[in-house]
Amino acid sequence: MPKERIEEIKTAIVTSDILSEDEKSQSIQHLEEWVVEDKAFGMIYHQLLEVNDIFKEIFKELGVI
């Protein structure tokens, strides 16, 4: 997901009238964790593809990509 889109989501969370302050804080924390996990998966994915292209098929079968 592009960084700009992530910032839009953060802004929407922070300016929400529906979420409590605690829910806003938790939501931002989850979003930031997701971004880190997403980046980590991307690095692992590309490193495994360097080992063998079969990993692309494995990830497809697992429904990860």
Q: 36-54: per-residue pLDDT in tens?
A: 998 888 898 899 999 998 8
pLDDT band at 18 (very low <50, low <70, confident <90, very high): very high
The pTM assigned to this predicted structure is 0.68
Average pLDDT, the chain: 91
Token digits of residue 39: 């980046």
pLDDT at 59 over 90: no
Cα–Cα dist 22/27, whole Å: 8
* Beta strand spans in the chain (E): none
pLDDT at 32 over 90: yes
Residue 29: which of 17, 19, 18 has the closest Cα? 19
